[in-house]
Amino acid sequence: MRKTNKNLREIFANGGMAKVMAAHDPLSAILVEEAGFDGIWASGFEYSAAMGLADVSLVSMAEHLNNMRNMAHRTSLPIIADVDTGYGNAINVIFTVEQYEAAGASAVVIEDKMFPKVTSLVEGGRQDLVSIAEFQGKIEAAIHARKDPDFLIIARTEALIAGRGEVEALERAQAYEAAGADLILIHSKQKTPDEIESFVSNWRGAIPIVIVPTAYPQMTEARAKSLKKIGILIYGNHAVRAAVTGMQNVLAQIIRDGGIQNANETIVPVSEIFRLQNMDRVKKNEKRFLR
């Protein structure tokens, strides 16, 4: 049981809002921790992108789980694992929760899409949802499977993403709360916060809401806090996008310049990578143990 499991719950139970940033590998997870976020989002989108794949259930549970375990090994922040649909039905969800909890996650987000899923923010994506009853079974299975009651089961409804409207989104969220979810993640791909603000103001449930404001960046932390019902705000894919921006710029500069003479000044020195790799520890241990 990871000692950080309680951390996120303590933040929102005391009226706060946890700020959680996506990561796609242990190195980005270390940077998330050093930057000062409250938790790490083990994003399916980011990991798929890092594998050069679309986020459409191509990456297996074992691959995502192993990546998440490696993040947990190198960081101390709570990790919210994005387990998509739970990789199948309620039986798959039981196995998924057992595996992610044992590997060091502090929470899972399970979404009410049909397996295989299609990424949420893509234009014209096929967005099929499972029935409310089926998803309630999956949430109940997740709760049954967790060992630590502080391990969070976050139910994500894609009703707005699927164009089903606010009434169905609220109905689904209520049903998932009744099934025992600790929080509701409501996702939207509208370009402004209106759709989410309307959902939040009409939410009568007792559990807090999680949002991922990628599509509507006008939703600042201050604005989200003012809604009073947001327990966790997840920045969904900014680590992998920052990595792509950084690499594209530097790689293009090296091609342009015909060498590394200028690019070298714009990137971190190799010593910074040694620091992130904990090379000092290796050196100390060499002195102590190598004979």
Contact between 13 and 232 under an 8 Å Cβ cutoff? The reply is no
Question: What is the bridge-based pairing of β-strands 183-186 and 209-211?
Answer: parallel
How far from 65 is each of 62, 72, 97, CA to CA, in Å?
A: 5, 10, 11
Instruction: Single out the catalytic residue among 38, 55, 150, 182.
Output: 55
Peptide bond into 213 cis (omega under 30): no
**At closest approach, how far in Å is the CB of 227 from ligand SPV?**
19
The burial class, CB within 10 Å (0-12 / 13-18 / 19+), for 103 is: buried
Q: Which is nearer to Mg ion, 138 or 256 (CB)?
A: 138
Per partner kind, with CB cut-offs from 5 to 8 A, the member of Mg ion, ligand SPV, none near residue 236 is ligand SPV
**At closest approach, how far in Å is the CB of 97 from ligand SPV?**
17
Q: Give the DSSP H or E segment for 50.
A: helix 44-50
The burial class, CB within 10 Å (0-12 / 13-18 / 19+), for 6 is: middle
Binding of ligand SPV by 28 (CB under 6 A):
no
Per-residue mark of binding to Mg ion, 40-79 (x: CB under 5 A): ----xx----------------------------------
Binding of Mg ion by 236 (CB under 5 A):
no
Residue 55 is among the residues annotated as catalytic for this protein: yes
Q: Which is nearer to ligand SPV, 5 or 57 (CB)?
A: 57
Binding of Mg ion by 82 (CB under 5 A):
yes
Residues at the contact surface with ligand SPV, assessed by CB under 6 A:
22, 43-46, 55, 82, 119-121, 187, 212, 214, 236-237
Residue positions annotated with a catalytic role: 55
Where does this chain bind Mg ion (CB under 5 A)?
44-45, 82
